[in-house]
């Protein structure tokens, strides 16, 4: 019995961190509706009030052709990845002082995780990565 109980504890200790990081692409798609007024994503995405977000993961901040970024954004030195995005989306004006993005941020960690899962699935052409 001790062996079984010990095995379950060991199994749970490995699984628990992954459960906490679970991301829901469908929920992220729903959360992206908050962004649609300013941003587009997908195969026909165009710049709006904000830049299109295709290929966000690994992209240099301030680098989308045809979008007029603030100097703060262009000079931030940020390469978008999961950690930078999650920090930024909580409060964009704190992460990049002087950004034109006036969005107040998303505070709920699970929503941020879901939004990242949704955004990061698109390559630079707007196709969903397999």
Q: Are 38 and 50 in contact (CB under 8 A)?
A: yes
Distance between CA 123 and CA 73 in Å, rounded?
A: 21
Residue 24 pLDDT exceeds 60: yes
Percent of the chain with pLDDT strictly greater than 90: 82
Average pLDDT (19-36) is: 86
What's the mean per-residue pLDDT of the chain? Answer: 88
Residue 8 pLDDT exceeds 60: no
Residue 4: the pLDDT is 52
Residue 2: the pLDDT is 54
Give me the torsion for CA of 69, 95, 19, 9, rounded to 10°.
150
Categorize the per-residue pLDDT at 16 as very low, low, confident or very high, splitting at 50, 70 and 90. very low
pTM for the full model? Answer: 0.82
Average pLDDT (30-47) is: 97
- Nearest C-alpha neighbor of 45 from the set 59, 56, 58: 56
In CATH, the architecture of 23-119 is Orthogonal Bundle (1.10)
Residue 23: the pLDDT is 86
* Residue 101, H or E segment: none
Distance between CA 57 and CA 119 in Å, rounded?
A: 8
Residue 83 pLDDT exceeds 60: yes
């Amino acid at each position: 019995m001790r062996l079984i109980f010990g095995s379950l504890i060991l199994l749970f200790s490995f699984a628990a961190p992954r459960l906490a990081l679970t991301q829901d692409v469908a929920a992220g798609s729903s959360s992206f509706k908050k962004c649609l007024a300013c941003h587009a994503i997908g195969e026909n995405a165009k710049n709006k009030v904000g830049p299109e977000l295709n290929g966000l993961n690994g992209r240099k901040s301030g680098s989308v052709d045809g979008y007029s970024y603030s100097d703060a954004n262009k000079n931030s030195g940020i390469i978008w990845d999961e950690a930078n995005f999650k920090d930024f989306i909580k409060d964009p004006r704190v992460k990049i002082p002087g950004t034109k993005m006036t969005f107040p941020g998303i505070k709920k960690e699970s929503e941020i995780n879901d939004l990242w899962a949704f955004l990061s699935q698109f390559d630079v052409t707007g196709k969903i990565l397999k």
